[in-house]
Each structure stands twice: as structure tokens, then as C-alpha cells.
Amino acid sequence: MSAFGILQFLAFFAVIAALTRPLGAYMARVFSGESTPLDPVLRPVENRIYAVIGVNPRHECRWTRYTIDMLLFNFCGIVIVYLILRLQHFHPWNPLDAPGMRPDLAFNTAASFVTNTNWQSYVPETAASYFSQMLAFTWQNFLSAGTGIAVAMALIRGLTRHSAENVGNFWVDLTRACLWVLLPGAIIIGIFFMASGMVQTLGGPAIAHTVEGATQTIARGPVASQEAIKLFGTNGGGFFNANSAHPFENPTPLTNFFEVVVLLSIPAALTYTFGRYAGNQRQGWALFLAMAAIFALSLGIMTWSDQVGNPNIANAGVTQAATSGQAGGSMEGKEVRFGTYGSELFANATTVTSCGAVNASMDSMTPLAGGTAMLNIAIGENIFGGVGTGIMFMLIFAMLAVFIAGLMVGRTPEYLGKKIESTEMKLIMIAILIHETSILGFSALAATAGPGVAGILNAGPHGLSEVLYAATSATGNNGSAFAGLSANTGFYNVMLGMAMLIGRFVWLVPMIAVGGTMVKKTPVPESAGTFPTTGFLFIGLLAAAVIVVSALTFFPVYALGPIVEHYLMQAGTLF
């Protein structure tokens, strides 16, 4: 690895660590109802919203009511987005006359944006009107991210409150997440993006005349505004099909670095918010360090694999000897303006979160690099993770880790002083099994059903990786893809749409339920036998629990996909 690559990675970690405390403290104040500098502007708007929807902001509810409100709100969102896309040919701001989407594609897209997945089976710059881009997509980018933050706060309250019944008010949490966190951040980020060269216009496509005398139509639109919330809310859906590899979405190495920082800012900051609620900031930093350690591990594997590259290219005499790998790393599918290090940092960040934005072709990565990206999603995207969902998954793994520690020493496990009993462990295992069963079940369906096999481009293990990545990305609400899969078919649109809904809403129910059971408990005083959850021993155990549980589940199918492809590549067989 070059000195420049190491410096870029260290700078990234330094910036994320520096942002975590101020942003996390700000969110803790927002969701606790404390005063903030934005109150004079936003408090009247917030009160007006509550008056319109008929919500008492001082009224809190149990986890069951909270869950029902969340599900009903998002169901309405799916219906609204579906209708917008089906009736697209009637829209204003439709300069390319994009037609209404097919029913299966409209369902897939509606499920995708409401679940914070942003999987795109269509070419956005030609298949979606400006009206759809702004009202259906950008609007849901705020609401889906806001939903993730809201349910995370419900779980955090459940773990940190004592002898209580209520976990909060969904409508209040959603409003504050969108109004106090996402909207101001998106405005600041959008202004920076426009100043950096991103396009922002409601005008139609630009018409250019080449030196050969040909006419070229260049798509454009309100790009910077969608790009801002796409990244800040870990959404991932690009205005263009090339996503963040497109120069209108990501013009320079500076914007590329900034986009990765923006992507992880809220997920990292929520660890500090959790520490504030727990009354012990070391609890939050322990989660942060466990996430950072796994992030560094996956980034190292991905970078090493792509830097070594494909030995068959070296053997062909294109570069140096196979033993030393490709000079400069594998540049297939990557933008020259970002290079390998900027592409690997982006790919790792987008797959550890539920973002799915890409600045390079995931399909062109070396087998182990692509397999690492897939594993990042498969382990639950809790390595910082999606906005809200990442901290939730890491918290249940924290409870799983102390449960394992309790079994080893013969003591009832405790987290934040509260006993973790059979009810919590059943709910935690249900959440984990929902995630893993969806990935493996839909992968098996796609790999055996005729319509699923027909969409596979590459033969052998790479073809299996294509369908496995699609099911993983949909269930993990990520949205990135191995580009070889022809996913815009009735079979894949419906299957992946169902995987998105299961991976988001079915999975969230037991997560909120854990908060509902834990909020009722009274903490017990610490004793000499209490397992500390702030030291390096716990951090190591937590990271190990995340890796081992995922490795045991997914290793067999990965052995048939990216792992065997790696060894076949070493032997000279390519797919």
C-alpha cells in the first residue's frame, strides 16, 4: 500500500472521529427535547406539523403502538410512491417524457425507496421524471432515513430508561430526525456540492455539438440536492445510472472523500448519542471502536485484494510479474480521478452502511474484494451501518456478546445493568434469523428458478455471486449490485422488493420489541462479577461475535462463490 493510500485512510478515520462527538451530542439534545441553536427557526415549524397531523408531542407510547405507527406510515409511503411512478406520464417537469413504470418495476422502486434501499432496476436519468426524482425519491430519502433514526431512538430509550413503559413517540422522533438533523445537514452538504461542480437545475437536457458535427444530449437535473440526502441519509439512489462514478454526481477526488465522510457521519455519531443516553460515554465509544476495528479489517482485505489484482493480467505481460501483482492495483471498473484507494474506501463505506451508492463497478472487483463487500452487507451492516439501523444491529450484538460472556462464567448476563433473559435472546435471534433466512432463501430461489437463472450473466461461481449479492443487498437495504445481473424483470423486481420489505420492516419489529421489554427493567448494581462493557475485552468480544456469527452462517455459500472464484482465478480460470 502506498503512503498516499495510508494517508487517505488515516485522514478519513480522523475526520469521522472528530465529527462523532459534536454531531452525536447535537442529536442527543434534539431527541431529548433540549434547546438547540436552530430552535427559533424550526420550533414553530415543528409545532405546526403536530397541529396538522393531530399529534401531542408530550404523549409517549409503548413499543407496540410505536411499531404500528411506523408500519402504517411507511405502508402509506409505498402506496404514494407506487402511484407517482405508475402515473409518471402525467407529471410536470418531465422534459424527456418518461412513461409510467410497469407495475412490477413501480412496486420494486416504491419498496426500494421507502425501505432506504434505493435499489434501481431502471436508468434514472431517462426512466424517471424530475417530478419523480424530487417528490417520490428525494422525499422518501428523508422519510426512510428519518424512520431509521426514529426506531433507533426507541431502542436506545428502551435500553437506557429504568422501570418505564414507553419508548417514545414515533411521529415526534420522525419529525425531529427530518427537521433538525437531515434537512439542515442536506442543505449544507448540497451547497458544498454545488460549489464543487455538481449540477443543480430544473432545465432539460443540455445539447452539445461535437467537433465531428454530431449532436449529443447530456442528461442533467436537480442532482446536488438529491446527492446530499442520498449520502447523508445512507440512501444511495443516484440521479444517474452511473451513480457516484458520474462526474455530475462526484466531480473530483475532494468530493469523493467528502461523500464518504458524509455517508458515515450519522451512523458514527449515533454511538455518541447512545453514550449520552446511557449516562456513560464510554459505552458509546466502545461501540464506535468495535465498528471502527471491523471497518479497518474489511477495508484492509478489500484494498489488499484489489492492489494485488488479477495475476492472469500480470502473466500476460501487461504489467509486472504475477508474484508482485498488478502495478497500481486493479483499475478495471474504476474511475481514474479516484484511483484504487478512493474507490476501495468508497466501496467499503457504502457496503458497511445501508447506502449502496457506488463510484466504481462492484462487479469488476477482484473476487475477495467483491466477497468482502458482500459480507459487509450480510453481517447486518452494523459496521457503523445504516442511519439508525446500524446502531440497532450493533446493540443487539452487544447484548449477544454479554450473553455469551455470561454463559462462559456462569452468571446471568447484564447490559447497562439490566439482565438479559430468555425473552430478549429469543427476540434477538429472531431478528438475526430473519435477516439471514431472507438472504439465503431468496438466493436459493434465484439460483434455481428458471427466471432467476435467466438473469445471470456470468457462469460458474461469479454467476452465483451475482444472485447472492442481489439478495444480500436487497435484504440489507443496501441497493448496490453486481452489474451483470439482469434484474429488471418481473421475477427479480417482485422477489427483491419482497426481500427489501422483509429486511426492513419484518426485521424492525423484534428490534423495537427488545426495547419494549428492556425499558421495564430496573438496573442492578454493579458487582465484582459484572462483566464490564466499556473495556477492550468487551470490544474484542463484540467484534468477534459480529464476525463469527456471520462467518458460520455465510461461509458455505461464500465458499461456492467468491472464495472458489479467487482460487480459480489464481489457477488461470476466469468468468
Average pLDDT for the chain: 91
Model pLDDT, residue 28: 97
Amino acid (1-letter code) at residue 98: A
pTM of the predicted model, to two decimals? 0.93
Percent of residues, the chain, with pLDDT higher than 90:
70
Residues 166, 56: Cα–Cα separation, whole Å = 15
Model pLDDT, residue 323: 44
Residues 128, 166: Cα–Cα separation, whole Å = 42
Residue 153 pLDDT grade (very low, low, confident, very high; cuts 50, 70, 90): very high
Residue 320 pLDDT grade (very low, low, confident, very high; cuts 50, 70, 90): very low
Burial of 408 by CB count in 10 Å (0-12 exposed, 13-18 middle, 19+ buried)?
A: exposed
| Cβ proximity of 303 and 316 under 8 Å | no
Cell of 191: 451547497
Mean pLDDT to the nearest integer, 524-550? 87
Closest CA relative to residue 370, chosen from 310, 455, 287: 310
Scored b (16 or more CB within 10 A) or e, 88-108 reads beebeebebebebbeebbbbb
| Cβ proximity of 199 and 84 under 8 Å | no
Residue 307 pLDDT grade (very low, low, confident, very high; cuts 50, 70, 90): confident
pLDDT in tens, 223-267: 999 899 999 999 988 888 889 999 999 999 999 999 999 999 999
Residue 447 pLDDT grade (very low, low, confident, very high; cuts 50, 70, 90): very high
**CA-CA distances (angstroms) from residue 119 to 49, 108, 195?**
30, 8, 28
SS3 content of the chain, % helix, strand, coil (to 5): 65, 5, 30
pLDDT in tens, 46-104: 999 999 999 999 999 999 999 999 999 999 999 999 999 999 988 888 887 889 999 99
Q: Which backbone phi and psi does 503 adopt, to 5 degrees?
A: -65, -20
| Cβ proximity of 363 and 334 under 8 Å | no
Residue 205 pLDDT grade (very low, low, confident, very high; cuts 50, 70, 90): confident
pLDDT in tens, 541-562: 999 999 888 778 899 999 999 9
3-class secondary-structure state, position 472: helix
Chain-centroid distance, C-alpha 469 = 14
Residue 321 pLDDT grade (very low, low, confident, very high; cuts 50, 70, 90): very low
Mean pLDDT to the nearest integer, 339-345? 91
Closest CA relative to residue 244, chosen from 142, 124, 399: 124
Tell whether the model's pLDDT for residue 521 goes beyond 80: yes
Residue 314 pLDDT grade (very low, low, confident, very high; cuts 50, 70, 90): low
Domain ranges of the chain: 16-281
Residue 381 pLDDT grade (very low, low, confident, very high; cuts 50, 70, 90): confident
